[in-house]
């Protein structure tokens, strides 16, 4: 069934073949039915003719018997005066009889009905046409039929009927004769309907002369000679072979027989015969097979017209369905392989058609991986509908710059791929530069004007990679190198591949790190100026068997990218709560714990619920717990973020905004956030004593914190001068190597123990 659905023409051909088979079967049975009907019609006709002939001749014989007996009664046949009157009377009442007469045993006619001039009638015994039958009548007690011949006195074809008149001793006294009209009105078969589809012969069996031939044709030939013995023998042979009886048995049984045979003209005919034993006559009907075939061909023509008409309608219907399905299939294929927004080919199209580019004897080509810079800000600021309009304009601009033989693909989001047969480095530089310049031109969308940028990575086939995955990987690696600097093009190099492979290997190691217990925690004290401890910030460390100690700024972005950061974050929360809880019990003192929460972890379903369970499980003092979030969190769903922050505040936890001044925060946003603490980023602290701009940034951040009544914490403090300067601005809490590097649990206990008086 699936095959038929896949190729509907197969169903049409099955129906067509079935129709042909049905037509052949129906035609075959129709032909057989016509043959059977024709045979039945012939047999009915022969039976009717046989009954009619038997009845007619029996009546005539009886009449001749009566007439003969009347004529010989008291020797009336010798009375010449009364004979014509009797015979004329009989002619009047029997129009099928042309003439009556009486002949002597030697063949001489002694008198005739008055319509015949006796002088014109020859001796019947010596006349060629009547001699044999006359002699036969002398010997027979039955009425004998003579040969059909043309009777010139009456200008009619007649069949002589002869009956011997005998005395009591059986001696033939005379022969009464009569001429039976063969053709025309009041003839022997005038009341029987004949059609022109078959011929009928009444044949005398003892000498094979045709007595009656219908329809009339070549009568002089037909009645002049008997049927050829070979022809008759062939008929007999056909009959005896079919019915397994000899010809005498068939005659005695007076059975209606039928068979196929060849007629005089060499044409195949259907023959039906029946024998009349009393009058020694064969009634023979012949229908040419061509007549049946002709009738069949007429019906078959109608069948064919109907068949062709039906199949034509079916063909038109299937053609319509096929065309419709093709249009639908093409539409669905276009939908599947093209981007609905820009109508450009998509990544499915790329995977399905890359064989046209990567194949035996394929021309070298280049893959350009284009990614827009800062496009996410467009969607975040103006919505996706607005961003869609920008994407349409982007695709239009790129399309105008590439060659007609190149292929532009929207790979996903704001990523585009160009497959170009241009492989010359200098020309590719010009092409990518043109694309970047075009994409960097101002966009005028819905009365708004803004500027974007683009980064492009280029990989070459087959010199660099010879598979689709390899080209995508290489161009993607090059593109990410370009994104580090924005609005530029990078060509793939093997060194990039090594970094990429290392990155992949690190991803694999990160996925196994938790199970291998490769993570551990370190804690960096947060102190007041005099060294007394305010609290600690928990920091994650990864010591890998392959890469050694990997810094957080290298592995955390990778962990967030591959989706393992939420699990790692849970490890950090659970472990830090346990370890700090144990330290507090050992020291009998309480201090603050700050935990960094990644964006991925913060936005995970049930984050807050699970965090609350961990706190309650360890009976941790919520007032001594601070969650640190970064400014990057605000590029997500702001409404959802604010709800989470409010819920955290309601739990009694503090919220610290880390790396303030380096990201996306604004004053209008900051004043609406439930923030307890701002952390001055290390990058500002490092340069504030040497660079005026950095110092101004720190001063402004401190002013903002003071105006919003938010506590301040400076991180990355490494010198006493930094501490003193920041303190003059109003910052009370410090974190950095000046006070302590990050410490493992045991070292932290020792550090806190040495500073017990200051806690």
CA-CA distances (angstroms) from residue 571 to 584, 612, 623, 744, 749?
Answer: 20, 14, 21, 16, 21
| Distance from C-alpha of 91 to C-alpha of 98, rounded to nearest angstrom | 7
Joined tokens for residue 616: 């309650």
Contacts of 253 (CB under 8 A, 6+ apart): 245
What angle separates helix 565-587 from helix 552-562, to the nearest 10 degrees?
130
Each residue's pLDDT tens digit, 684-696: 999 999 999 889 9
Percent of the chain with pLDDT over 70: 94
Mean pLDDT of the chain: 86
Backbone angles phi, psi at 129, to 5 degrees: -70, -20
Backbone angles phi, psi at 410, to 5 degrees: -90, 110
Q: Which residue has the higher pLDDT, 282 or 754?
A: 282
Per the rule left: phi > 0, alpha: psi between -120 and 50, beta: everything else, 413 is left
Q: Find the range with the poorest average confidence among 273-282, 377-386, 464-473, 562-571.
A: 377-386
Residue 373 · residue 453 · CB < 8 Å? yes
Contacts of 378 (CB under 8 A, 6+ apart): 386, 387, 390, 450, 452
Q: Which residue has the higher pLDDT, 639 or 404?
A: 404
pLDDT band, very low/low/confident/very high, at 75 (cuts 50, 70, 90):
low
What totals of helices (H) and strands (E) does the chain contain, helices first?
Answer: 24, 27
Going by C-alpha positions, the residue among 682, 686, 688 that lies closest to residue 662 is: 682
Joined tokens for residue 351: 């995977």
Chain CA centroid to CA 267, Å: 54
Alpha helix (H) residue ranges in 219-371: 219-224, 229-243, 247-253, 289-337, 347-353
Q: Check whether 713 has a pLDDT greater than 80.
A: yes
CATH of domain 25-289: 3.30.450.20
In this predicted structure, what is the pLDDT of residue 733?
95
Q: Check whether 1 has a pLDDT greater than 80.
A: no
| Distance from C-alpha of 545 to C-alpha of 557, rounded to nearest angstrom | 20
Backbone angles phi, psi at 106, to 5 degrees: -90, 5
621: DSSP letter: -
In this predicted structure, what is the pLDDT of residue 76?
54
Q: Check whether 117 has a pLDDT greater than 60.
A: yes
Each residue's pLDDT tens digit, 369-378: 999 988 887 8
pLDDT band, very low/low/confident/very high, at 72 (cuts 50, 70, 90):
low
pLDDT band, very low/low/confident/very high, at 43 (cuts 50, 70, 90):
confident
For 11, other C-beta atoms within 10 Å of its C-beta total 16
| Distance from C-alpha of 370 to C-alpha of 454, rounded to nearest angstrom | 7
In this predicted structure, what is the pLDDT of residue 326?
84
Contacts of 210 (CB under 8 A, 6+ apart): 148, 201, 202, 203, 204, 222, 223, 226, 227
CA-CA distances (angstroms) from residue 184 to 151, 159, 201, 660?
Answer: 14, 13, 16, 131
Residue 193 · residue 218 · CB < 8 Å? no
Q: Check whether 759 has a pLDDT greater than 50.
A: no
What angle separates helix 384-401 from helix 425-439, to the nearest 10 degrees?
150
| Distance from C-alpha of 382 to C-alpha of 392, rounded to nearest angstrom | 16
**What is 514-758's CATH number, 1.10.240.10, 3.40.50.300, 3.30.70.890, 3.20.20.450?**
3.20.20.450
| Distance from C-alpha of 619 to C-alpha of 393, rounded to nearest angstrom | 57
Q: Check whether 171 has a pLDDT greater than 50.
A: yes
| Distance from C-alpha of 483 to C-alpha of 477, rounded to nearest angstrom | 10
| Distance from C-alpha of 412 to C-alpha of 369, rounded to nearest angstrom | 11
Residue 444 · residue 435 · CB < 8 Å? no
Q: Which residue has the higher pLDDT, 599 or 423?
A: 423
| Distance from C-alpha of 148 to C-alpha of 131, rounded to nearest angstrom | 12
Tokens 């530029």 label which residue? Answer: 488
| Distance from C-alpha of 234 to C-alpha of 261, rounded to nearest angstrom | 8
pLDDT band, very low/low/confident/very high, at 125 (cuts 50, 70, 90):
confident
Q: Diameter of the chain by CA atoms?
A: 186
Burial (CB < 10 A; 0-12, 13-18, 19+), residue 198, is: buried
Cα 348–Cα 350–Cα 355 angle in degrees, nearest 5: 120
For 422, other C-beta atoms within 10 Å of its C-beta total 18
Q: Mean pLDDT over residues 202-206, rounded?
A: 87
Each residue's pLDDT tens digit, 454-503: 999 999 999 888 899 999 999 998 998 898 888 999 999 888 877 777 78
pLDDT band, very low/low/confident/very high, at 78 (cuts 50, 70, 90):
low
Residue 89 · residue 113 · CB < 8 Å? no
Chain CA centroid to CA 532, Å: 79
For 189, other C-beta atoms within 10 Å of its C-beta total 17
Going by C-alpha positions, the residue among 682, 672, 684, 738 that lies closest to residue 710 is: 672
Q: Where, residue-wise, is CATH 3.30.450.20 in the chain?
A: 25-289
Going by C-alpha positions, the residue among 295, 284, 293, 294 that lies closest to residue 261 is: 284
CA-CA distances (angstroms) from residue 195 to 199, 215, 222, 285?
Answer: 8, 9, 20, 12
| Distance from C-alpha of 580 to C-alpha of 720, rounded to nearest angstrom | 28
Joined tokens for residue 659: 């790396």
Residue 618 · residue 579 · CB < 8 Å? no
**What is the end-to-end Cα distance of the chain in Å, rounded?**
82
In this predicted structure, what is the pLDDT of residue 637?
63
Q: Check whether 415 has a pLDDT greater than 90.
A: yes
Going by C-alpha positions, the residue among 388, 415, 439, 408 that lies closest to residue 338 is: 408
The arrangement of secondary structure in 347-492, i.e. its CATH architecture, is 2-Layer Sandwich (3.30)
Tokens 């827009």 label which residue? Answer: 372
Q: Where, residue-wise, is CATH 3.20.20.450 in the chain?
A: 514-758
Joined tokens for residue 177: 């004769």
Joined tokens for residue 41: 């019609």
Residue 167 · residue 76 · CB < 8 Å? no
In this predicted structure, what is the pLDDT of residue 636?
59
| Distance from C-alpha of 719 to C-alpha of 696, rounded to nearest angstrom | 19
Contacts of 599 (CB under 8 A, 6+ apart): 560, 630, 632, 633, 636
CA 231, 233, 236, 242 dihedral sign is negative
Q: Model's pTM, two decimal places?
A: 0.51
Tell me the three-class secondary structure of 247-277, residue by residue. Answer: HHHHHHHCCCEEEEEECCCCCEEEEEEEEEC
Q: For residue 596, list its beta bridge partners.
A: 628
């Amino acid at each position: 069934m699936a095959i038929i659905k896949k190729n509907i023409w197969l169903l049409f051909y099955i129906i067509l073949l079935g129709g042909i088979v049905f037509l052949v079967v129906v035609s075959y049975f129709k032909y057989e039915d016509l043959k059977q009907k024709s045979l039945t019609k012939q047999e009915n006709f022969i039976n009717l003719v046989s009954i009619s002939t038997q009845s007619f001749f029996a009546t005539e014989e009886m009449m001749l018997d009566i007439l003969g007996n009347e004529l010989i009664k008291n020797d009336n046949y010798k009375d010449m005066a009364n004979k014509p009157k009797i015979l004329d009377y009989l002619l009047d009442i029997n129009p099928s009889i042309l003439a009556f007469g009486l002949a002597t045993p030697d063949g001489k006619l002694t008198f005739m009905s008055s319509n015949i001039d006796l002088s014109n009638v020859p001796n019947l015994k010596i006349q060629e046409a009547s001699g044999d039958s006359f002699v036969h009548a002398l010997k027979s007690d039955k009425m004998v039929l003579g040969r059909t011949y043309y009777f010139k006195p009456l200008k009619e074809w007649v069949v002589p009927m002869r009956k011997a008149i005998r005395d009591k001793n059986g001696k033939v006294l005379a022969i009464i004769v009569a001429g039976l009209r063969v053709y025309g009105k009041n003839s022997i078969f005038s009341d029987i309907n004949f059609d022109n589809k078959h011929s009928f012969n009444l044949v005398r069996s003892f000498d094979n002369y045709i007595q009656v031939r219908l329809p009339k044709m070549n009568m002089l030939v037909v009645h002049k000679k008997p049927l050829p013995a070979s022809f008759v023998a062939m008929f007999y042979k056909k009959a005896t072979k079919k019915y397994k009886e000899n010809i005498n048995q068939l005659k005695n049984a007076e059975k209606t027989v039928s068979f196929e045979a060849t007629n005089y003209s060499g044409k195949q005919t259907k023959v039906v015969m029946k024998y009349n034993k009393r009058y020694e006559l064969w009634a023979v009907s012949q229908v040419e097979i061509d007549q049946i075939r002709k009738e069949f061909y007429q019906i078959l023509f109608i069948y064919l017209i109907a068949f062709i008409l039906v199949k034509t309608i079916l063909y038109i219907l299937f053609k319509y369905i096929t065309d419709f399905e093709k249009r639908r299939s093409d539409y669905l294929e276009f939908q599947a392989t093209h981007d609905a927004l820009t109508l450009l080919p998509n990544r499915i199209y790329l995977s399905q058609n890359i064989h046209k580019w990567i194949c035996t004897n394929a021309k070298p080509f280049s893959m350009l991986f284009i990614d827009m810079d800062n496009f996410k800000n467009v969607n975040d600021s103006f919505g996706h509908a607005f961003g869609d309009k920008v994407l349409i304009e982007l695709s239009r601009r790129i399309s105008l710059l590439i060659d007609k033989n190149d292929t532009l693909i929207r790979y996903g989001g704001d990523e585009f791929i160009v497959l170009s047969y241009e492989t010359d480095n200098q020309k590719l530089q010009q092409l990518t530069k043109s694309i970047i310049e075009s994409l960097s031109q101002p966009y005028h969308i819905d009365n708004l004007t803004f500027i974007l940028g683009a980064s492009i990575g280029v990989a070459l086939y087959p010199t660099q990679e010879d598979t689709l995955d390899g080209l995508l990987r290489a161009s993607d690696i090059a593109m990410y190198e370009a994104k580090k600097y924005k609005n530029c093009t990078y060509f793939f190099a093997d060194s990039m591949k090594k970094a990429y492979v290392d990155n992949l290997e690190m991803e694999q190691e990160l996925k196994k790190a938790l199970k291998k217990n490769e993570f551990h925690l370190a804690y960096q004290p947060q102190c007041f100026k005099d060294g007394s401890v305010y609290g600690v910030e928990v920091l994650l460390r990864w010591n890998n068997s392959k890469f050694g100690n990997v810094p957080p700024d290298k592995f955390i972005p990778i962990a967030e990218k591959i989706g393992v950061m939420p699990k790692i974050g849970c490890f950090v929360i659970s472990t830090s709560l346990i370890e700090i809880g144990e330290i507090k019990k050992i020291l009998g003192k309480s201090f603050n714990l700050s935990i960094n929460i990644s964006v991925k972890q913060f936005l995970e379903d049930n984050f807050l619920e699970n965090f609350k369970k961990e706190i309650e499980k360890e009976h941790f003092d919520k007032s001594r717990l601070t969650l640190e979030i970064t400014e990057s969190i605000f590029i997500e769903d702001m409404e959802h973020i604010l709800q989470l922050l409010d819920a955290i505040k309601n739990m009694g936890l503090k919220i610290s905004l880390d790396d303030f001044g380096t990201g996306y925060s604004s004053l209008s946003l900051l004043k609406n956030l439930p923030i307890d603490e701002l952390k001055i980023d290390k990058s500002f602290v490092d340069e504030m004593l040497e660079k005026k701009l950095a110092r101004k940034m720190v001063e402004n951040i401190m002013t903002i914190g003071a105006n919003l009544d938010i506590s301040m914490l400076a991180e990355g403090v490494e010198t006493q001068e930094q501490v003193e300067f920041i303190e003059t601005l109003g910052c009370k809490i410090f974190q950095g190597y000046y006070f302590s590097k990050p410490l493992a649990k045991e070292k932290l206990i020792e550090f806190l123990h040495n500073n017990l008086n200051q806690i």
